[in-house]
Amino acid sequence: MIGKDTTLSDGEQQYLSDAIDTLENEILVGRLGSDHFEDLDNNEESRGDWAEYMRRMGEHDFLGIAIPESEDGPGGTFVETVLAEQSIGYAGTIVHACQASLTQHIGHTLYNHGNEHLREAYLEPMLDGELIVSQAYTEPSSGTDLARVDTTAEKVGDEWILDGQKRFIDFAKYGDLYFLPARTSGEDGDREGISLFVIDGDADGIQLVDDQSDWHGFRGTGAAWMTFDNVHVPEENIVGEEGSAWPYMTNELNLEHLTVARYCLGASQKALEVAADYTSNREVNERPISEYQGVNHKVAEMATKLDAAYLLNTRAARMLDEDGISAGRMEGAMAKWYGNDLAHEIADTCIQIMGGIATTDKYPIERTQRDVRAGRFLGGASEVMKSVVQHYAYKVLASDDFNSDYVGNELDEVPWSDEDPPSKLAPTDN
Ligand SMILES: Cc1cc2nc3c(=O)[nH]c(=O)nc-3n(C[C@H](O)[C@H](O)[C@H](O)COP(=O)(O)OP(=O)(O)OC[C@H]3O[C@@H](n4cnc5c(N)ncnc54)[C@H](O)[C@@H]3O)c2cc1C
Q: For the chain, what is the HEC assignment? A: CCCCCCCCCHHHHHHHHHHHHHHHHHHCCHHHCHHHHHHHHCCCCCHHHHHHHHHHHHHCCCCCCCCCHHHCCCCCCHHHHHHHHHHHHHHCCHHHHHHHHHHHHHHHHHHHHCCHHHHHHHHHHHHCCCCCEEECCCECCECCCHHHCCCEEEEECCEEEEEEEEEEECCCCCCCEEEEEEECCCCCCCCCCEEEEEEECCCCCEEEEEECCCCCCCCCCCCEEEEEEEEEEEHHHEECCCCEHHHHHHHHHHHHHHHHHHHHHHHHHHHHHHHHHHHHHCEECCEEHHHCHHHHHHHHHHHHHHHHHHHHHHHHHHHHHHHCCCCCHHHHHHHHHHHHHHHHHHHHHHHHHHHHHHHCCCCCHHHHHHHHHHHHCCCCCHHHHHHHHHHHHHHHHCCCCCCHHHCCCHHHHCCCCCCCCCHHHCCCCC
* Residue 424 within any structural domain of the chain: no
Q: Compute the distance from residue 378 Cα to the ligand 1 centre, in Å.
A: 5
37 and 165 assigned to the same domain: no
Could you tell me if 20 and 117 lie in one domain? yes
Number of the ligand 1 atom closest to the C-alpha atom of 218: 1
The reply to whether 251 falls in a domain is yes
Q: Where among 243, 273, 290 does a domain terminate?
A: 243
Listed residues 111, 132, 153: the one ending a domain:
132
Nearest CA-CA partner of 37 in 94, 86, 100: 94
Using an 8 Å Cβ cutoff, are 364 and 271 in contact?
A: yes
In terms of domains, do 26 and 55 share one? yes
With a cut of 50, list the residues of the chain below it in pLDDT: none
- Let me know whether 65 and 186 are in one domain: no
Residue 235 lies in a domain: yes
Q: How far is the CA of 143 from the centre of ligand 1 (A)?
A: 5
State how far the Cα of 84 lies from the Cα of 61, in Å rounded to an integer. Answer: 10
Indicate which CATH number applies to the domain containing 313: 1.20.140.10
Domain end position, chosen among 73, 99, 132: 132
Residues 159 and 253 placed together within one structural domain of the fold = no
Is 300 in the same domain as 340? yes
Does residue 250 sit in the same domain as residue 237? no
CA-CA-CA-CA dihedral for 99, 105, 109, 115, to nearest 10: 40
Residue nearest to atom 39 of ligand 1 (CA): 384
- Protein residue whose Cα sits closest to atom 14 of ligand 1: 168
Residues 23 and 75 both lie in one domain: yes
Rounded distance from Cα 140 to ligand 1 centre (Å): 10
- pLDDT score of 410: 79
Testing ligand 1's pocket by substitution, the residue of 41, 144, 177, 382 carrying the most ligand atoms inside 8 A of its CB is 144
Count of domains observed in the chain: 3
Predicted local distance difference test score (pLDDT) of residue 412: 73
Assess contact for 75 and 253: CB atoms under 8 A.
no
| Residue 420: inside a domain | no
Whether 82 maps to a domain, the answer reads yes
Q: How far is ligand 1, taken at its centre, from the CA of residue 381, in Å?
A: 7
Q: Is residue 402 one of the residues assigned to a domain? A: no
Is residue 403 situated within a structural domain?
Answer: no
Domain assignment present for residue 27? The answer is: yes
Q: Are residues 186 and 85 in the same domain?
A: no
| 8 Å CB contact between 210 and 245 | no
Q: What is the pLDDT of residue 37?
A: 96
**Containing structural domain, residue 58:** 10-132
